[in-house]
Chains A and B, each alone.
Chain A
Amino acid sequence: MSAKCIPPNRPRSLHKLGCMIAACSLAPVALAADNPGAHEHGHARLQMAVEENRIDLMLNSPAYNLAGFEHGARTDAEKSRLADISRWLETTPLINTAAADCRVTAAAVELGGEEENHDGDTHHEDGHHDEEHHGEATHREYDVSQQLECNRIDADQEFTSALMERFEGMAELTIEWVSPSGQGSARLTPSNRAFTVNN
């Protein structure tokens, strides 16, 4: 295959490119017990496993993308915002077909991470990360799992995600999908909300 898309004189540069991109832009696949997981505001990852008419979803997103803040809810407005978000995540399918064939049969929403230390610390909302400068603030993440039941899923089924529409902080959503006939990924942005799964 390398002869096909990678000219013979370029493997090294491609390798460098691959490594560079893997190191810089991709969220590392490892969520190991000993390394802290990657946390990038504006970006979230949705894993999707399709089996017949059932779809298992697992969304991992910094809380900032959904709520606009990552500190513990202080005001009533913030508390009700978090409650709204949880309700929405529990009841709305994170992905759906154009005909809205899928409905949520089970869902679990978890807002992980520790409460931050309130003493004299200011929260940041600039999407920039530098742990050294605000070591006392912790990042919080949503882990949402949903089980969907769909009326029908075609061989080349197009799906859209309502996440971008509902949450303005979601600038990029990486979809990783697995179906009996293969695997693939897609990168959704606010202007491109559709992707196709080969079922």
Chain B
Amino acid sequence: MNLRLTLSLAMASLWYRRRVLALVTLTLTLSITLLLGVQYLRTEVKQSFTNTISGTDLIVGARSGQLNLLLYTVFHIGDATNNIRWSTYEKLQEDERIGWLVPISLGDSYRGHRVVGTSEQFPEHFRYGRDQQPELAEGEWFADVFDVVLGAEVALTHAHQTGDRVTLSHGGGKTSFSNHKDTPFTVTGILAPTGTPVDQAVYVSLEGLEAIHIGWESGVAIPGRTVTPEEARQRDLTPDAITAAFVGIDRKVLTFQVQRQINESQLEPLSAILPGVALSELWRIMGQFEKALLGITGFVVVTSLIGLVAVLLTLQAQRRQEVAILRATGASPALISALHVIECVLLAIAACGLAILAGAAGIAALSPWLLDTWGVQVGLRPLNATEWSIIASVPLAALLVGLIPALQAWRGSRKQGLGHVAPE
């Protein structure tokens, strides 16, 4: 048997069918890209979600469930039932195991966006994603009592720039009838998109929040009691209470110990939660969504493989003459069917390679747009073991489905009527 001649004929046959095969490869590439994309996004979205806040070891608030505390401090969803005293915050600062504390004070809004009162510790210690610091796209962090820093989405929605004057509203909600109009704030900075709830928030100093509430009682400004910004600056603006505090612990191994002590604190009823634990708990609740994605992924694979077999079987009908020539050169039915399997696997491998390239190019090209428009943070990273195994399963599945046309080819070539060729 002339193996070299057979192979060169097979190559020539491939080249002859290049257009159809290119189309098959393209279809398969698209399917694999979709499959890989779904799996990749699933992992990334989960990663991005569980890293909505990172680097913070504990969140301390008034006594409540861990999801409630997480939702209102990190996602700005819902409201706090109670506040914690400033004296408690100061006591926590004295704890040697605690490296840093960031106060969080909620309750006001700016055109439907949450106003977060905090300290200069916030930009220094708050992290999201893979230890990323919220960065300013323009301007700088608040230095004055009446300075405000806007999240990316807030600035984009209301077309704000640094230097703009904004009036905060009392309480939450999109339309508030009680505005802090006597004490407007100046935009000093706009944050770069983070893909987290930070984009939707407005940041001011704790002193700023305190200042705009001078002369307010039961949520209403008492006429004659409110002050001008200049008068407010003269006052002691230390708050009486804050909503919560983000806590960083020097030695992570002590996290549970500190948590237990805060939960059993005699100062006032407190809850300390581990944000990472609460986030993964929350993700588990939304696990159905993840399962649905996995199901779709499975269907994509099955459909594309069925498509591959259909195309190969159709092509086979056109290859009778070619098989006759191959048989004439001395190729055995086994070799002819092997060629079918090899062709199928090579096509799958080529499609996999192309899919990886297309996927990487797609993610690289789309990730800035995804972050800007949808606030979804998807970055390029090396593929993980699951993704590699999905890719590896494609040529393997191609090998299995390739057996169908191969078997047919073997049967067909035996009936070709050129007689049995004795092995050399």
Of the candidate stretches A20-28, A81-89, A113-121, A125-133, the one touching chain B is A20-28
B378 to chain A: closest residue by CB:
A4
**Chain A, 27-55, contact with B by CB distance < 8 Å: what is the 0/1 string?**
01111111000000000000101110010
What total of chain A residues lie within 8 Å of the partner, measured CB to CB? 41
Selected from B64, B197, B256, B282, the residue in CB contact (under 8 A) with A178 is: B256
In the complex, which residues of chain B have a beta carbon less than 8 angstroms from the beta carbon of A185?
A: 276-277, 280-281
B284 within 8 A of A: yes
A135 within 8 A of B: no
**Chain B, 239-252, contact with A by CB distance < 8 Å: what is the 0/1 string?**
00000000000011
C-alpha gap A6/B264 in the complex (Å): 33
Say whether B277 contacts A19, CB under 8 Å: no
Say whether B78 contacts A18, CB under 8 Å: yes
B147 within 8 A of A: no
Selected from B52, B197, B272, B375, the residue in CB contact (under 8 A) with A29 is: B272
Tell whether A49 pairs with B272 under 8 Å between CB atoms, given A4-B48, A19-B68.
no
Say whether B285 contacts A21, CB under 8 Å: yes
Selected from B45, B67, B153, B274, the residue in CB contact (under 8 A) with A26 is: B67
Say whether A14 contacts B263, CB under 8 Å: no
A11 within 8 A of B: yes
Tell whether A2 pairs with B75 under 8 Å between CB atoms, given A17-B285, A47-B256.
yes
In the complex, which residues of chain B have a beta carbon less than 8 angstroms from the beta carbon of A112?
A: none
Tell whether A31 pairs with B49 under 8 Å between CB atoms, given A178-B255, A183-B277.
no
Most buried by B among A4, A54, A179: A4
A146 to chain B, nearest CB (A): 13
B155 to chain A, nearest CB (A): 15
Say whether B264 contacts A3, CB under 8 Å: no
C-alpha gap A33/B252 in the complex (Å): 24
A184 within 8 A of B: yes
A79 within 8 A of B: no
B369 within 8 A of A: no
A52 to chain B, nearest CB (A): 9
C-alpha gap A23/B81 in the complex (Å): 14
Tell whether A178 pairs with B272 under 8 Å between CB atoms, given A1-B375, A19-B68.
no
C-alpha gap A11/B197 in the complex (Å): 12
In the complex, which residues of chain A have a beta carbon less than 8 angstroms from the beta carbon of B52?
A: 1
Most buried by B among A11, A23, A31, A184: A184
B272 to chain A, nearest CB (A): 7
Say whether B65 contacts A184, CB under 8 Å: no
Say whether A2 contacts B255, CB under 8 Å: no
B370 to chain A, nearest CB (A): 9
Say whether B77 contacts A178, CB under 8 Å: no
In the complex, which residues of chain B have a beta carbon less than 8 angstroms from the beta carbon of A30?
A: 63, 263, 269-271
Say whether B78 contacts A15, CB under 8 Å: yes
In the complex, which residues of chain B have a beta carbon less than 8 angstroms from the beta carbon of A2?
A: 75-77, 197, 200
A56 within 8 A of B: yes
Most buried by A among B57, B274, B285: B274
A187 within 8 A of B: yes
C-alpha gap A150/B207 in the complex (Å): 49
A18 to chain B, nearest CB (A): 4
Selected from A31, A179, A187, the residue in CB contact (under 8 A) with B263 is: A31
A45 to chain B, nearest CB (A): 11
B98 within 8 A of A: no
B299 to chain A, nearest CB (A): 22
Tell whether A22 pairs with B286 under 8 Å between CB atoms, given A15-B77, A47-B256, A178-B57.
no
In the complex, which residues of chain B have a beta carbon less than 8 angstroms from the beta carbon of A33?
A: 264, 266
A12 to chain B, nearest CB (A): 8
Say whether B196 contacts A50, CB under 8 Å: no
C-alpha gap A19/B281 in the complex (Å): 13
A47 to chain B: closest residue by CB:
B256
In the complex, which residues of chain A have a beta carbon less than 8 angstroms from the beta carbon of B271?
A: 28-30
B292 within 8 A of A: no
B260 within 8 A of A: yes
C-alpha gap A34/B265 in the complex (Å): 10
C-alpha gap A178/B260 in the complex (Å): 14
B50 within 8 A of A: yes
In the complex, which residues of chain A have a beta carbon less than 8 angstroms from the beta carbon of B280?
A: 183-186
Say whether A187 contacts B284, CB under 8 Å: yes
B31 within 8 A of A: no
Say whether B276 contacts A4, CB under 8 Å: no
Say whether B67 contacts A21, CB under 8 Å: yes
Say whether A1 contacts B48, CB under 8 Å: yes
Say whether A49 contacts B255, CB under 8 Å: yes
C-alpha gap A54/B282 in the complex (Å): 28
C-alpha gap A11/B114 in the complex (Å): 14
Q: Which of B225-260 contact A (CB under 8 A)?
A: 251-256, 259-260
B103 within 8 A of A: no
Say whether B263 contacts A32, CB under 8 Å: yes
**Chain A, 158-188, contact with B by CB distance < 8 Å: what is the 0/1 string?**
0000000000000000001111101111110
Q: List 25 A-B contacts (CB under 8 A).
A: A1-B75, A2-B76, A2-B77, A3-B374, A4-B195, A5-B45, A5-B49, A11-B77, A19-B67, A19-B71, A21-B285, A29-B271, A30-B269, A32-B263, A32-B269, A49-B256, A50-B253, A51-B253, A176-B277, A178-B255, A178-B256, A178-B274, A180-B252, A184-B50, A184-B280
| 3 pairs of A and B residues whose beta carbons are closest in the complex | A183-B276, A22-B65, A22-B67
Q: Beyond the given A54-B253, A185-B276, could you list 14 further A-B residue pairs with CB under 8 A, ordered by the A residue number?
A: A14-B71, A15-B77, A18-B77, A22-B67, A26-B66, A28-B66, A32-B63, A32-B269, A49-B255, A178-B252, A182-B54, A183-B276, A183-B280, A184-B277
